[in-house]
Structure 1
Amino acid sequence: MTDKELFAEKLETFVADLKDHISTSDGQWTIKGFIDIFQNVYTISSDTKIVSKILEIHLFPKILHFAKTNGYKVVLAEHQNYYPDISFVKADDESVRFAVDFKTTYRNPKKPHLCNGFTLGSHGKYFEHRTSTKNIQFPYGSYSGHFCLGIIYDRTEGATIDETQSRRIDELCSIASVVKNFQFFVTEKWKIASDKGGSGNTANIGSINNISDIITGRGMFSKLGEHWFDEYWMNYKKNHGSRRKRRYQKNINA
């Protein structure tokens, strides 16, 4: 078994237990808000950026324990816009590195088999030039694998959440959770990539949005392989209207 296969297997085993760490027996998020020194609780919104960041913080002690248990050091992104969120570096062989990005998204309430999707990192300089250190912790080509640790959830519809009001800590259990019904997954990012840019920013690689395909890694390039994913996205800006792009599209949709 290769280092990448072993790392993927251990990461998949690890995430299988994370739902119990962050949610109650009926699926509610155990995070209700944040507290000040006077024991006032301030509720949070379901804004995806807020939920995503708090989930990362909530899970980080578990991530550290996973790394230590399996012989890896954790290197965090030095800057907010750097890729990836976490670099796992093998303690006894620092040439073995794995990029892991947190990806969170919510289910479509009208079409629950679909989610809102997410971006899978830039296809810019560090992706095109695999030795570049621009906006990336280590050169892209120095990683042995690029993974997504993903979380799909439901937004709590109809919950009474008033962000303008504080609550006492003894009211904690009566505060509605803004999200619930978590589903975790681990996959290499190329396996869930689409052939379109991420929403709102065409410099980012977009994901597919069918949940069952995300969980099982059946993206646009899953049958073609990582080489096709790399070549397509390394040439994405250069391919519009070209014969090469039409060849990609034909093979992707085959």
Structure 2
Amino acid sequence: MSKVKNDFYQELKTFVKTLENHISTEDGQWTIKGFIDTYKNIYSISSDTKVVSKILEIHLFPQIIAFAEAIGYAVVLPEYQNYYPDLSFINKRNETIKFAVDLKTTYRLEDYPGFCNGFTLGSHGEYFTNRQSTKNVQFPYGDYLGHFSLGIIYSRTSGTHSAETQTHRLSELQSITSVIGDFQFFVAEKWRIASDKSGSGNTANIGSIAKIEDVLAGKGVFSKLGEEWFDDYWMNYGKITKKDKDGKTRKITTLTDFVEYRGGDTSLVVPKARKLKPKKKKNG
């Protein structure tokens, strides 16, 4: 990692340690309780992940802008909603120094202790494969010196789903249960927390690992191989075929197969942790 990139990374890591105090009460609840209208009615927030993610972004934005100013960077927002990244940090003294920062939020899985729902890490489509493309990206991918995820892992509060249709008065503010809480923040270069599987259905999105301990430590499947392997794999995802022992041709869609195909060291592939449901205790 270059000095400029490492300096930015260290500053970002220090910054995220301060964020919980801005959005969390002393007992770990989200300080956002709902939407208020001019009649002082408060409407509960939906626990839908897209709604929660957007409000979290809005809630944190003033702190992000203040942080950027403090370290000598300007923040450029994407021109369109589906553009990458969420935030472009540009050095005020040298505009060729740019960093991509994507805001990522995900919730802990109740049925799988130690795991989160995961998240996507951007497209592996046109702008990823052609590093000078301007399609769906604020600046060409190759213009960024680093690509980071600023992540938030939270727990969903049980029982709040049924309260989504409720309306409260302003005087009841303190008694409203937040829909989420128990926040953990992290910063990682996105290749370090990447999976070798697509992150969402039929779209060309890179998936993440899901074991929380590994996310926080940056121990994704590429973490021992390096960023060049991450780039090579996802630029060619689903495009390379190989013949099995029975002579059938299939696409390469696992990192182990890809590293073997490229003649690399497959022992450097970090296995993904498997989600295992806790065993039910037998009565008696």
Q: Do Structure 1 and Structure 2 share a fold, with TM-score over 0.5?
A: yes
C-alpha distance in structure 2 between counterparts of 1:183 and 1:239, whole Å: 38
C-alpha distance in structure 1 between counterparts of 2:47 and 2:252, whole Å: 43
1:69 aligns with 2:70: yes
In the TM superposition, residue 243 of structure 1 has moved relative to its aligned partner by 7.0
In the TM superposition, residue 195 of structure 1 has moved relative to its aligned partner by 0.3
Deviations 1:116-161 (A, max 9, x none): 0000000000000000000000000000000000000000012475
In the TM superposition, residue 75 of structure 1 has moved relative to its aligned partner by 0.1
C-alpha distance in structure 2 between counterparts of 1:218 and 1:69, whole Å: 30
- 1:170–1:93 CA distance, 2 compared to 1 (3 A): same
C-alpha distance in structure 2 between counterparts of 1:199 and 1:221, whole Å: 19
Deviations 1:19-68 (A, max 9, x none): 11100011000000011111110111111000000000000000000000
- 1:242–1:171 CA distance, 2 compared to 1 (3 A): closer
In the TM superposition, residue 2 of structure 1 has moved relative to its aligned partner by 1.1
**Other-structure match for 1:247:** 258
* Bigger relative contact order, structure 1 or 2 (CA pairs below 8 A, ≥6 apart): 1
1:164 aligns with 2:165: yes
Task: Identify which range, 239-248 or 87-96, moves more after superposition.
Answer: 239-248
C-alpha distance in structure 1 between counterparts of 2:252 and 2:145, whole Å: 32
Greater C-alpha Rg = 2
- Conserved? CA contact 1:161–1:176, under 8 Å: no
C-alpha distance in structure 2 between counterparts of 1:243 and 1:189, whole Å: 22
Q: Equivalent residue of 2:163, what SS?
A: coil
Deviations 1:68-96 (A, max 9, x none): 00000000011000000000000010000
- Conserved? CA contact 2:47–2:160, under 8 Å: no
- Counterparts in 2 of 1:32-71, with a 5 A limit? 32-71=33-72
What's the % identity of the aligned pairs?
61
- Conserved? CA contact 1:45–1:161, under 8 Å: no
1:96 aligns with 2:97: yes
1:185 aligns with 2:186: yes
Q: Which amino acid aligns with 2:239?
A: K
Q: Equivalent residue of 2:99, what SS?
A: strand
- Conserved? CA contact 1:160–1:176, under 8 Å: no
- Counterparts in 2 of 1:224-239, with a 5 A limit? 224-239=225-240
Deviations 1:156-184 (A, max 9, x none): 01247523232111101111100010000
- 1:58–1:244 CA distance, 2 compared to 1 (3 A): closer
**Other-structure match for 1:148:** 149
**Other-structure match for 2:138:** 137
- 1:243–1:77 CA distance, 2 compared to 1 (3 A): closer
C-alpha distance in structure 2 between counterparts of 1:243 and 1:54, whole Å: 38
TM-score, with normalisation over the residues of structure 1? 0.96
C-alpha distance in structure 1 between counterparts of 2:29 and 2:252, whole Å: 50
**Other-structure match for 1:7:** 8
In the TM superposition, residue 244 of structure 1 has moved relative to its aligned partner by 9.7
In the TM superposition, residue 234 of structure 1 has moved relative to its aligned partner by 0.3
In the TM superposition, residue 206 of structure 1 has moved relative to its aligned partner by 0.3
- Conserved? CA contact 2:238–2:253, under 8 Å: no
Q: Which amino acid aligns with 2:166?
A: Q
> Unaligned stretches of 5+ in structure 2?
242-249, 261-265, 272-284
Q: Equivalent residue of 1:237, what SS?
A: coil
Task: Identify which range, 238-247 or 222-231, moves more after superposition.
Answer: 238-247
C-alpha distance in structure 2 between counterparts of 1:23 and 1:201, whole Å: 36
Aligned length: 254
**Other-structure match for 1:26:** 27
Q: Which amino acid aligns with 1:247?
A: F
**Other-structure match for 2:200:** 199
Q: Which amino acid aligns with 1:252?
A: V
